[in-house]
């Protein structure tokens, strides 16, 4: 019986030594996996921090483009202040040429009436600019 206990004790010790070797290898494998995962996290963080200046430059470019668009809109509005009275003058001239026969100078080649119409429109525009300031 004593021999049997010794054999049982020896087999338990042998199994625990064998199992501990497998556990150590498993721990080493898991440690390597953790290190690889941490390395992936660090590389992702580095890549993101490298992208921050690009993001800043993109936002800066978008701001510049927006400023340029708003400047173009302001210039278009300024041009509209000149185009609107001109189109109004042309409309008045066409309406006057249909209503007043003197404006329609087909018989005589006298452009004086049409010039007076355009000068009148220009005068109204200048008065409007002076009043509005």
| 35 pLDDT tier (thresholds 50, 70, 90) | very high
The Cα-based distances of 80 to 29, 88, 118, 130, 131 in angstroms read 75, 12, 18, 17, 18
Distance from C-alpha of 112 to C-alpha of 11, rounded to nearest angstrom = 127
pTM of the shown model: 0.36
Where exactly are the structural domains of the chain?
2-132
Cβ within 8 Å of residue 90, ≥6 positions away: none
**pLDDT score at 120:** 79
The whole-number average pLDDT for the span 18-31 is 74
DSSP letters for 51-102:
HHHHHHHHHHHHHHHHHHHHHHHHHHHHHHHHHHHHHHHHHHHHHHHHH-TT
Structure confidence by residue, pLDDT tens digits, 48-98: 888 888 888 888 888 888 889 888 888 887 777 777 777 877 787 777 767
- pLDDT of residue 126 exceeding 70: yes
Structure confidence by residue, pLDDT tens digits, 91-117: 877 777 676 666 555 666 566 767 777
């Amino acid at each position: 019986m004593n021999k049997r206990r010794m054999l049982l004790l020896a087999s338990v010790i042998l199994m625990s030594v064998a199992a501990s070797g497998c556990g150590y290898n498993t721990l080493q494998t898991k440690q390597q996996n953790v290190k690889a995962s941490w390395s992936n996290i660090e590389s992702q963080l580095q890549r993101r921090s490298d992208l921050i200046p690009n993001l800043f430059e993109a936002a800066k470019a978008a701001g510049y483009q927006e400023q340029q668009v708003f400047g173009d809109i302001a210039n278009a509005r300024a041009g509209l202040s000149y185009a609107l009275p001109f189109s109004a003058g042309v409309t008045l001239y066409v309406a006057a040429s249909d209503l007043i026969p003197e404006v329609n100078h087909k018989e005589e080649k006298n452009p004086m009436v049409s010039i007076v119409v355009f000068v009148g429109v220009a005068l109204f525009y200048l008065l409007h600019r002076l009043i509005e300031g």
